[in-house]
Amino acid sequence: MRGPHNIWRLIRTGATFERTGAMGAALEALDAPPRLRLVARVMGWPFKWLGYKGDPALPPVTRAITALGPAYIKFGQVLSTRPDVVGPELADQLRVLQDKLPPFPIEVAKQTIEAELGRPVDALFSEFSEPVAAASIAQVHQARRADTGAKVAVKVLRPGIERAFRRDLDAFHFAAGMIERLSPASRRLRPNDVVRHFEGVVLGELDLRREAAAASQFAANTAQDAGFTVPRPAWEFSGRTVMVMDWAEGLPMGDPAAIRAAGIDPVALSERVLQLFLSHALRDGYFHADMHHGNLKVAANGDIIAYDFGIMGQIDEYTRRVYAEILMGFIRRDYHRVAEVHFEAGYVPADRDVNEFALALRAVGEPIFGMDATHISMARLLAYLFEVTEKFGMQTRTELILLQRTMVVVEGVARSLNPAINMWEAARPVVEKYIRENLGPRSVVRDLVRTVQTLGHFGPRLPELLREAIERRTAPAPEAAAPSRPAARMFVLLGALLLGLGVAIGTAL
């Protein structure tokens, strides 16, 4: 239903920012040019009376975002981790969006639990608290299981949340379509594909059974990671609108002063949170894609505790290798290799000049090295990257959206703990380890073995394929002059692979 009502929705968005006083604050924080500020104020002022009033107790931008609904709140959560983009003051204001939103009544939460699990709350839990955290999609209660006495977190979806999200996403689809029609140059960014991708991700958050499964998988993947903990779900107490997990006891990741007072080194913590994210993305291809401050705690022993697994990212093995090579190229300042990887992966059209692209990448990468993070403007860096991608015709890679977004968020978390962190130096050990294990001779052997195993599954069919090939060869037919020989080709391919496997093993050993 992407019709005129969406125009109304977008008008009210601008009007809400104007009415709450957020328009000027947002443009100031983003360091918008004076002309853009003037146009925005002139265009917004006549519609000011149409905007939502919001909560006057909140700062202007937070007030506008919370008034507009859950999809806007999600966007604000990302910005809250980027003080270098929106400024420290606005980032602090937006941080309340992570887990300090107004809760819904406890009676409503209990009704949802009873409807989902089919038993009274008093029969399930001996203790059940008022909400301890409330975010855009759900809120959390602390409870104690009646059967075991274990302390648990009970997550309950907000009533009517799916309808509210669909309304916002519908408006975003409409806006993306308008952008593509009015600005053909924007089509390379594939705004409609981007919105569809996020729609699938966000709607996945609205089924807590999927989140429980994600938590279980993530816990299994990271069981051997030192200094990292994942609470485990209680399957018998979880459903579509309710999820129960082990209680995570720790200090908020967003409180560096408390972390320092507890005797935990925030500098070491900043490096570990970045390295853990990269390990999960490169090693497992499965990573927490919503790692903002509100979803991380620090245990008394210094372990990082992650929770809220509504958004998880997955990338295939080939993409992980491409991503690692790009990161390694930047770390080594080998911009020509970074450019070659983009061309090899098809990220840049083949008719563009690889040397020109390498030169453009150098202008992006060089300012990073030799500086601490406090002197790097990520806003300017992103603006220049946009110019580079436009010039070389790069299209938005929807499979990498979550990875890129989470990288921005995690860097923001790390920077809040250590403003002088050098992202590239912190990433180096993880990327180098992945490169050694997955792009060397041993990885060639592993890939060949895997290929031979795959071909082995067709072994029982090889006689049949050979007989069919012979019959087609001997049968008179118009196309006999150009026979198909799948079985022979398969034998040749298998022999070549086995030979290559032997050579690779000899090289690796």
Quick one: pLDDT at residue 336? 92
Domain layout of the chain by residue ranges? 4-97, 162-203, 249-438, 441-508
**Alpha carbon distance 177, 74 (integer Å):** 21
**Per-residue confidence (pLDDT) for residue 366, from 0 to 100:** 80
Task: With beta carbons less than 8 A apart as the criterion, state whether 500 and 452 touch.
Answer: no
Chunked in runs of 10, what are the mean pLDDT values of the chain (509 residues)?
68 84 74 63 72 84 86 74 65 71 90 94 95 88 95 93 82 76 63 72 82 94 94 93 94 92 94 94 91 90 92 86 83 87 85 90 75 56 61 68 76 87 82 82 65 67 74 62 47 44 44
Is 290 catalytic? The answer is yes
- For position 25, what pLDDT does the model report? 75
Helix (H) or strand (E) holding 250: none
Residue 143 confidence (pLDDT) = 97
How is residue 477 written in tokens?
């037919």
Tokens at 496, concatenated? 């070549």
CB 138 within 8 A of CB 155: yes
Asked whether the whole model's pTM tops 0.75, one would answer: no
Handedness of CA 343, 346, 347, 348 (dihedral sign): positive
Residues whose CB falls within 8 Å of the CB of residue 233, separated by 6 or more in sequence, listed in order: 212, 215, 216, 243, 244, 245
Q: What is the pLDDT of residue 10?
A: 75
Sequence-distant (≥ 6) Cβ neighbours of residue 188 within 8 angstroms: 389, 390, 393, 394, 395, 396
Q: What's the token pair of residue 305?
A: 């505790």
Q: Report the candidate in 445, 396, 406 with the shortest Cα–Cα distance to residue 194.
A: 396
Of the residues 84, 99, 170, 290, only one is catalytic, namely: 290
